[in-house]
């Protein structure tokens, strides 16, 4: 069960975010997916570091 505003983002969705980032800005990805811009940016930051 989610705690507060937190929820688990499945690995497949994270991979989709990375793929979409090649063509879209974080704000647009957030609008399309319903995931917050902050989560999009954090996911991308982690992807760039690894």
CB-based contacts of 13, cutoff 8 Å, min separation 6: 33, 35
Provide the residue ranges of all domains of the chain, joining segments of one domain with +: 23-50
Q: Tens of pLDDT along 6-42?
A: 778 999 999 999 999 999 999 999 999 999 999 999 9
* pLDDT value at residue 27: 95
Q: What is the C-alpha separation between 17 and 45, in angstroms, rounded?
A: 12
Q: Quick one: pLDDT at residue 50?
A: 84
More confident residue, 3 or 37: 37
Instruction: Label residue 2 by pLDDT band (50, 70, 90).
Output: low
């Amino acid at each position: 069960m989610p705690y507060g505003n937190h929820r688990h983002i499945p690995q497949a969705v994270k991979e989709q975010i990375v793929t979409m980032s090649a063509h879209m800005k974080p704000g647009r990805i957030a609008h399309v997916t319903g995931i917050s811009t902050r989560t999009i940016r954090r996911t991308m930051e982690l992807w760039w570091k690894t």
